[in-house]
Chain A
Amino acid sequence: MIRSEGVHCEAGGFRLQGIDLEIGRGEYFVLLGPPGSGKTVFLECLCGLRRIRSGRILVGGEDVTRAEPRRRGVGYVPQDYALFPHRSVARNIAFGPEAAGLDRGEVERRVLRTAERLGIRHLLDRRIAGLSGGEKQRVALARALATSPRVLLLDEPLSALDETTREEVALELLRLQGELGTTTLHVCHVFEEARILAGRLGIMIGGTLAQTGPVEEVFSRPRTPELARFLRAGTVLEGTAEPEGDGALLRAGPIRLRSEARASGPVSFVVLADAVRLSSGGTAGGENVLEGRLIHLSPRGLFARADVEIAPGVRLEAHLPRTDPWPAPGTTVTVRFPAAAVHVFPGRGT
């Protein structure tokens, strides 16, 4: 539905370098990247607020590279929402239909329909200044949807919300997108948000698109050690590999691990934190079963991050679900993970 072909753009001292991305009809695509990686600049290029230096942008197969923003059929919800403070909620939602020259009755029908869909009908007469963060977010979304866009671009739509509201609104975004089927590109820098929402995920770092793919694949098979660190996918280690059976035996300092990947020579690999499980007490031995001391445990929303020292100077990171019993920090623990959780980075020693 929306395609970016080799998009280059300069914004101040920042460069967007040859972004190739295609998002299919009805897809919910999340673009994840640290602040300052060029996500907002890319969105501005897509909706025509920023001229690109080279490349092409296509919406629904139509080349819109040189089209004005209003002729692209793209709805845009900027960060902080940019609601019109001089208009009521209803007049904000009516802005697009009015600009399209629809008659008054149709404008009002669209306002009501969109407000009902987003559950904000009771806010229609309110001024923007008195709304909460979650309400503003819904109004901004309603304003963009009232124009019936072919593609919806959301720039950090949940970043201004508190944690509880964020989860609630994220699920609502999914529900809404499921109902409407609007192709959506959602930009954010929060991993949990990306994991909840994304069908497919793209990672943008330093103005380049580092990796795209289904969300679980990107998190479990990051393309480079740098990406693995950025995604906090797990513990990145350097070592050597020798083929063994269907996979390889990896050595990193004093520890030995088995991976399903075939590799040999010097390698970088990541032990995926989501797959690492802990149990109290030490019973080391067997494949990918190690003994260590739980150094630190910090709850983070739906999971807790645990750091286990398995050898002097070597720590493994684990993400423990809420449903698992959490061992006490400072105690000896047994660490287990499957060979499939040891991902060897391609192109290094294989």
Chain B
Amino acid sequence: MSPVRGRPDRLLAAAVFLFVGLFAAFAVVLIAADALYVDRKAVLTILTADFILDALWRSLWTSVLTTAIALLFAVPMGYALSRYRFPGHVLVDTLVDLPIVFPPLVAGMTLLVFFHQTAPGRWIEGGLGLRFAFQPAGIVLCQFVLAASFAIRSAKTAFDEVDRRLEDVALTLGCTQWGSLFRVALPLARGGILAGGIMTWARSFGVFGPLMIFVGTFRGRTEVLSTTIFLEQSVGNLEVALALSLLLIGVALVSLVAIRLAAGPPWRKP
């Protein structure tokens, strides 16, 4: 529905779109600056070098796996935080937000200290044989620590927005609480949960800081696109680093748009 607009309304639209325009122009200018610096040789290098395709593939599968694991936690945690009041609710709610606030490097250091300096950490790696430090699994762990918060927070908000009376009615219509979760709450919270998944994937795909500390950048084993960019620029291959940045931006843009188109806009109510 579009109301009849007067002059002050058009001024409001102009004012808000000024900011939209400035933001979008700033982003485009930054990407264009990168693009202008990149030469043909650098583009050829990133399109043909095996180690880059290997890093790209690792970035993709680790971030997708991280997102899947994050969503696996997000749905029950979001539901619990939204629907139940329990001792420690405030604490858990705060812990969920913590990784969004602290510097990413801290996550890497904390993981390294846990697995190398504490008995439970050493037992997991030594006793159970689940190796994370300087291993591909460590990439997923770093990404999960930094990005799962987005999925959990979004899922909680999405469940909060589902009218509880709908679930109550489902109970009177013959559902168990499991049924009302899967047939009512979850389909209605789907948009918000998917939006959280997109944020989680985007964050995971670009993670850099903690990887340098916890898994390193071993070519063919723990190297991902973000760490390749760092390595290339640190040895003076600025053109290749920038071409890689453009590749990372391109993959992220295409993926985000594709997911959004497939899922529908996250703000859309069913």
**A residues whose Cβ falls under 8 Å from a Cβ of B:** 44, 47-49, 68-70, 72, 74-76, 78, 80, 82, 84-86, 95-96, 99-100, 143-144, 147
Contacts and interface: CB of A to CB of B under 8 A. Distances in A.
Most buried by A among B174, B179, B269: B174
Contact of B168 (A78, A95, A99, A100): A78
Contacts of A80: 165
B191 to A, nearest CB: 10
Interface in B160-188: 163, 165-166, 168-176, 179, 183-184, 187-188
A49 B176 CA distance: 12
A69 B184 contact: no
B173 A48 contact: no
A47 B171 CA distance: 9
A48 B172 contact: yes
Interface in B182-205: 183-184, 187-188
In order of increasing CB-CB distance, the 10 nearest A-B pairs are: A99-B174, A86-B270, A96-B173, A69-B171, A76-B172, A82-B165, A70-B174, A69-B172, A82-B169, A86-B187
A68 B171 contact: yes
Given A85-B188, A86-B270, A99-B179, A78 B165 contact: yes
Most buried by A among B163, B166, B173, B269: B173
Contact of B170 (A44, A72, A95, A100): A95
B172 A99 contact: no
A70 B171 CA distance: 6
B84 to A, nearest CB: 16
Contacts of B165: 78, 80, 82
Contact of A82 (B163, B174, B176): B163
A273 B41 CA distance: 97
Nearest to A99: B174
A5 B184 CA distance: 33
A70 B168 contact: no
A119 to B, nearest CB: 21
Nearest to B171: A69
A147 B270 contact: no
A70 B180 CA distance: 11
Given A49-B168, A75-B172, A100-B174, A85 B179 contact: no
Contacts of A144: 172-173
Nearest to B180: A99
B188 A76 contact: no
A103 to B, nearest CB: 15
Contact of A70 (B163, B176, B188): B176
A84 B170 CA distance: 9
Given A82-B163, A85-B269, 17 more contacts: A48-B172, A49-B168, A49-B171, A68-B176, A69-B168, A70-B172, A70-B176, A76-B172, A78-B165, A80-B165, A82-B165, A82-B168, A84-B188, A85-B270, A86-B188, A99-B174, A144-B172
Nearest to B177: A68
A95 B188 contact: no
**How would you classify the secondary structure of chain A's contact residues: helix, strand, loop or mixed?**
loop
A99 B188 contact: no
A72 B187 CA distance: 26
Interface residues of B, number: 19
Contacts of A78: 165, 168-169
Contacts of B179: 99
A229 to B, nearest CB: 33
Contacts of A47: 172
Interface in B53-112: none
A222 to B, nearest CB: 33
Nearest to B176: A70
B188 A147 contact: no
A74 B172 contact: yes
Nearest to B270: A86
A70 B187 contact: no
Interface in B111-152: none
A143 B172 contact: no
Contacts of B173: 70, 95-96, 99, 143-144, 147
A84 B169 CA distance: 9
Nearest to A149: B172
Contacts of A49: 168, 171-172
Given A69-B171, A70-B172, A70-B176, A82 B183 contact: no
A144 B171 CA distance: 12
A96 B165 CA distance: 16
Contacts of B171: 48-49, 68-70
A28 B179 CA distance: 31
Contacts of A75: 172
A311 B269 CA distance: 61
Given A82-B163, A85-B270, A70 B175 contact: yes
A18 B92 CA distance: 40
Contacts of A48: 171-172
Nearest to B166: A82
Nearest to B165: A82
Nearest to B174: A99
B166 to A, nearest CB: 5
A154 to B, nearest CB: 12
A99 B170 contact: yes
Contacts of B166: 82, 84
Nearest to B163: A82
A99 B169 CA distance: 12
A3 B70 CA distance: 48
A86 B183 CA distance: 10
Interface in B213-259: none
Contacts of A85: 188, 269-270
B174 A76 contact: no
